[in-house]
Amino acid sequence: MEYDNFLHYSSRLLMADVLGDVYVAFSKLNSPNSRFTFTRDLLRKHKMLVKTLDVDMKYDHPIVSESLRQRGNELFKAKQYKKAVHAYTKCLAVSDSNTECYALALANRSAAYFHMSEYELSLKDARWAMVSNYPSRLEYKLYERVGNAERMLGFVELAMQDYAVCLSRLDEVDMSAGEKLKFRATVKKAAAECKKVLTGHKRTKKIPRADEQLVGGKNKNIPALSAFVELGMSKNMGRGVYATRDINPGDVVAIDEPYICGPISDNIEICHYNGCMKMGFALFPCPKCLLVSYCNKDCMNKANKDGHYLECPIMYFIKLTPGITRMNELAMKWFLKDYLKMGLKKYCSIVNNFSISKIDPQTRGFDETGKYKSDTFLTAYSLDSSENNVSIDILFFFNCIAVDMLHYLILSGFKIPECYISSVGASLVRILIVLDLNCRKLNINAPSISFEEKSQVTVVVALTLYPTISLFNHSCDPNIKRSGELSDRIRVMKAVQPIPKGTQLCCSYGVIFRGFVKESRQDVCKTLFDFKCYCEPCIKNWPICHYIPNRLSTLNILNPSMADIVSSECKKFVEFTKLVKSEDYSEHLNYLYSFIKLLFANVKRPFELYENCLEMITTAHTINSNKMYFGETFINMD
């Protein structure tokens, strides 16, 4: 099963010999609120909810932790850095993270790591100490160390900023004038070295890319889409996006921001703040839960305002909840963000209205002024979730998860009147279902990074819910694709083929006709997304790569009067492919656009040179600055 610990709830009910009856009773309930209430009562009755959030943390007496730290200091003075690290780690394991001793042990361990040339670990500990109870009178030391570690790691711009903070803190430091002068000179010298490196970088820096603009400007009703498209309906695919004018390859058709997003795993360093999500390095952990990290204190404060302070006491428990941990975390983050924005009363009234109103499939997600906006709660909340197609066991499982998560929130002191509990619980279930389809499974456009060796192979690094991009249907021959920096949280979608007026704009949900036979593509669409694919390659049974025609003939030339021109352009293209390297395709985009347009008008698809040109355009549209190498992420700061 794709969800972790899927049998967690059902196996206990099975042991109590009630599971069969539970499923029968659950499936008879037809409102989301009644399903949630039923599940909550059931888990309470069978004593399946935790009684307290107290984690049995046993700290040693402060004298023990302090003596371990002092032992570390002695080893440090004796230059036995490895042993010192060991002693500080022991101290951290037995001390309360709210104490000064804990923060000092972190800072001291950071110093030991620095001497061992473990700059990344040194940076991590120093940043961690900065958000812990480290005495502010000593902070100048931490800023100097952070600057030094960043300089050693090549992050000179960051280092300069931290040296500047260090110097600004010196006035309040209790140090003789002579010592201060000496210290200041050392820091200034290090900052000057960084400046020298930076000036060298700037000279070789490439010209920045122009900001991408939607072709024809913003759409009047759906501002994240181009003015040259509209929403339409089809029998086989439901809602979809259609061109109202001819769209050319390279035209930007959508620029979407996620409604909610979060890192996909703990191993990849991404700022947890919803509005940032930048890839980072040695991020600042939340000093209370230590389970989320931010690129700076500003993002940490903003995330707290968005609700992290409410989820912080229960993060540990959310991580233990069955299902997809990251999705559960995202669901809680989403709920808290909107609860804080609207208040409980308004939130419940909106989600209740949504669940009882008859949803028009065409206008779902549009507000009362007729606009569909990616930053609106109801737009995201009403995304296609195939809720009616979710099987009973999965629906019950999601209800159990929602019961657990709401229970943690209540145990942590979150005040929620009884009359709102079923609405909030049912909304968490809906949020989980929306995220499961539109964020977890449909992650082809999510921020990703590539491998150092094979830059074509990318891995998704974040879960992102793009309400407007979710309007695009799938085709095994997509005519639009993501473009720009692949790790960006804002997603730009560009046309990669000519899209004549009236044609549907489709992206791929993960399979394209060249690489997979029809049966396996259909299988993916069915098992993952529960639909039968009605795209052209599936309906017309297009062949996969080896069998795609590679020669022009009377069978595939659509316009015989153009045969000679097309033939000579094809020869030129073959030469082009031999001469130009993939990293230089972007310099030849206009040529590639004109060639694909020529073939589009004159040659029957599929045709090998057309498919090759399409792939080259796709490659040229994307930038992978962030690379992954053997489990580590290298970040290109340029």
* Residues near ligand SAM, by CB under 6 A: 236-240, 361, 384, 386, 438, 442, 470-471, 473-475, 529, 531, 533-535
In the complex, minimum distance from the CB of residue 4 to ligand SAM, in angstroms, rounded to a whole number: 24
CA distances from 356 to 39, 252, 335 (A): 20, 38, 20
Nearer to ligand SAM, 72 or 467 (CB): 467
C-beta of 110 vs 219, nearer to ligand SAM? 219
Nearer to ligand SAM, 236 or 541 (CB): 236
Q: For residue 492, what are the β-bridge partners?
A: 255, 483
Task: Pick the closer one to ligand SAM by CB: 107 or 535.
Answer: 535
Longest alpha-carbon distance in the chain: 92
CB nearer to ligand SAM: pick between 427 and 473: 473
Tell me if 338 sits within 8 A of 347, measured CB to CB. Answer: yes
- Residue 239 vs 308, nearer CB to ligand SAM: 239
CB of 513 vs ligand SAM, minimal distance in Å: 12
Closer CB to ligand SAM, 62 or 510, in the complex: 510
Nearer to ligand SAM, 186 or 236 (CB): 236
CA 160 – CA 150 distance, rounded (Å): 9
Beta pairing class for 462-465 and 473-474 = unpaired
Write out the DSSP string of 270-309.
B---TTT--B-SSPEEPTTT-S-EESSHHHHHHHIIIIIH
Rounded CA gap, 236 and 89, in Å? 60
How near is the Cβ of 239 to ligand SAM at its closest, in Å?
3
At its nearest, how many Å lie between ligand SAM and the CB of residue 397? 20
Per DSSP bridges, beta strands 293-294 and 284-285 are: antiparallel
Q: State the nearest-atom distance from the C-beta of 439 to ligand SAM, in Å.
A: 10
Q: In sequence order, what are the residues at sequence separation of 6 or more whose Cβ sits closer than 8 angstroms to the Cβ of residue 384?
A: 238, 239, 364, 437, 438, 470
Nearer to ligand SAM, 150 or 477 (CB): 477
Asked if 621 and 495 count as a contact pair (C-beta separation under 8 A), the reply is: no
CB of 353 to ligand SAM, least distance (A): 20
Q: Tokens 């991590």 identify what position?
A: 124
Q: Is the dihedral of CA 550, 556, 561, 562 positive or negative?
A: negative
Cα 149 from Cα 155, distance rounded (Å): 9
Is residue 614 exposed (0-12), middle (13-18) or buried (19+ Cβ within 10 Å)? Answer: buried
For residue 229, give the nearest of 252, 250, 258 by alpha carbon: 252
By DSSP bridging, strand 238-243 and strand 632-634 are unpaired
Residues in the chain: 638
Q: What angle do CA 530, 535, 537 make, to 5 degrees?
A: 120
Q: Please, what is the minimum distance in Å from the beta carbon of residue 609 to ligand SAM? A: 26
- Measured from the CB atom, the residue of 226 and 473 that comes closer to ligand SAM is 473
CB of 366 to ligand SAM, least distance (A): 12
Q: Residue 362 CB, nearest distance to ligand SAM (Å)? A: 8
> What residues pair up with 634 in beta bridges, in sequence order?
627
CB of 359 to ligand SAM, least distance (A): 11
d(C-alpha 516, C-alpha 115), whole Å:
53
Q: How far is the CB of 36 from ligand SAM (least distance, A)?
A: 24
- Please, which residue, 95 or 475, has the CB nearer to ligand SAM? 475
Contact 512, 525 (CB under 8 A): no
